[in-house]
Amino acid sequence: LGLFQHNIEEQRRLAHQMQLFLCMTQNVFSSLQDMNQLVRNITKEAKALVHAEICSLFLLDKEHSELVAEVFEKNGTTDEYLTEIRMPLNQGIVGHVASTGQMMNVQDVYR
């Protein structure tokens, strides 16, 4: 009975995650005409999905082999912008993820 209950709870958790992902996808793609709004939506929804404090989206500049972040999402708002951050493709956590294609879950990126 305990294993059955655990399986039901796991199924509910997965169903809830899938519902969140579906809503996120609908929200993200509702503004395809405006690239800046699309990037803001992606960061907002990704931050909410993983319960992060801050989220930034880095895009690849193939011409210069750099990762570029222009939009930042913090505390539910997009009021905190930096003009632009550029970093080499092989530098830091972001560079590792971009280079390898492997996800990373880092508990404290400031360490």
CATH for 53: 3.30.450.40
Number of domains composing the chain: 1
Q: What is the pLDDT along the chain (111 residues), one digit of tens a residue?
A: 778 888 888 889 889 888 887 887 777 666 666 777 777 777 778 888 888 777 778 888 999 999 998 666 566 555 555 567 899 998 988 899 988 988 888 877 777
Euclidean distance between CA atoms 106 and 92, whole angstroms: 12
Are 71 and 101 in contact by the 8 Å Cβ rule? The answer is no
Whole-Å CA distances, 11 to 27, 32, 51? 24, 32, 20
Domain presence at residue 11 = yes
Q: Helix, strand or coil for residue 104?
A: coil
Domain presence at residue 75 = yes
Domain presence at residue 28 = yes
Helix, strand, coil percentages (3-state) for the chain, rounded to 5, are 45, 20, 35
Domain presence at residue 109 = no
Domain presence at residue 16 = yes
What pLDDT does 72 receive? 63
Write down the pTM of the prediction: 0.55
Domain presence at residue 105 = no
Domain presence at residue 106 = no
Domain presence at residue 56 = yes
Domain span holding position 7: 2-100
What pLDDT does 24 receive? 74
Residue-by-residue DSSP string for 45-87: HHHHHTT-SEEEEEEEETTTTEEEEEEEEETTB-----S-EEE
